Amino acid sequence: MMWHRIRATMSTATRSLIARAFGLRRLAIARAFRSRRLMRAPIGLYRAGLGFLFGRRLMLLEHTGRSSGEPRYVVLEVVTSPSPNEVVIASALGRRAQWLKNLVAEPECHVSIRWRRRVPATAEVLEPADATAYLEIYQVQHPKVWKELNALMTSLHDEDPDYEIPLVRITLRPEATPSKP
């Protein structure tokens, strides 16, 4: 049976209940995004050399803590990859994300993506106009994902519809090839 037929037979109260359930699902997902343990789970897989399991949509960013100087790790979604040695990532938590603050303080980092492990890279926070252009392309390419992400990020930003999503361009340096003696 098609969804529109099922929906036509539902009462308004039932539809309202389902809508609230989806709203609760979004809240649960937003809470999961705030869960350190859940968000850090893929790091071990990347460090074990299994990053290829996540394909090109996710990457491990190794950056330096701005206060401690210690290595820090975070797995992030790739918004786009304009070239083989360039990826653009988004900060769903806006400018308050610790990894973003660390990259602003020290743009030199390492990236693991697909089969490539610990590739030296440099990060650059994009200007708002460039970020908007990339996000508009993302919205067109992934409309269903964007709808859910937008609702999720709005809830993460205390229901402020004008939240900012900073984008960062990561430029991977060419991997050194062994020199022949």
Burial class from Cβ neighbours inside 10 Å (0-12, 13-18, 19+) for residue 22 reads exposed
Token pair of 82 as six digits: 């304009």
Q: Is 1 within a domain?
A: no
Q: Measured between alpha carbons, how far is 107 from 64 in angstroms, rounded to an integer?
A: 9
Q: Tell me the residue type at 170.
A: I
Q: Is residue 93 part of a domain?
A: yes
Per-residue model confidence as pLDDT tens for the chain (181 residues): 444 444 444 445 444 544 444 454 555 555 555 566 666 778 888 888 888 888 888 999 999 999 999 999 999 988 889 898 999 998 877 788 899 999 999 999 999 998 899 999 999 999 988 988 888 888 888 888 878 777 777 766 666 656 678 899 999 998 654 444 4
Q: What is the number of H-type helices and E-type strands within the chain?
A: 6, 6
- Kindly state whether residue 103 falls inside one of the protein's structural domains: yes
Q: Is residue 49 part of a domain?
A: yes
Among 59, 67, 72, 129, which residue's Cα sits nearest to residue 99? Answer: 72
State the CATH number of the domain containing residue 46: 2.30.110.10
Q: Contact 170/87 with Cβ under 8 angstroms?
A: yes
51: left (phi over 0), alpha (psi -120 to 50) or beta: alpha
**Domain assignment present for 2:** no
CA 145, 148, 150, 155 dihedral sign is negative
In a domain, 54, yes or no: yes
Domain that holds residue 114: 36-172
- As for how many domains the chain has, the answer is 1
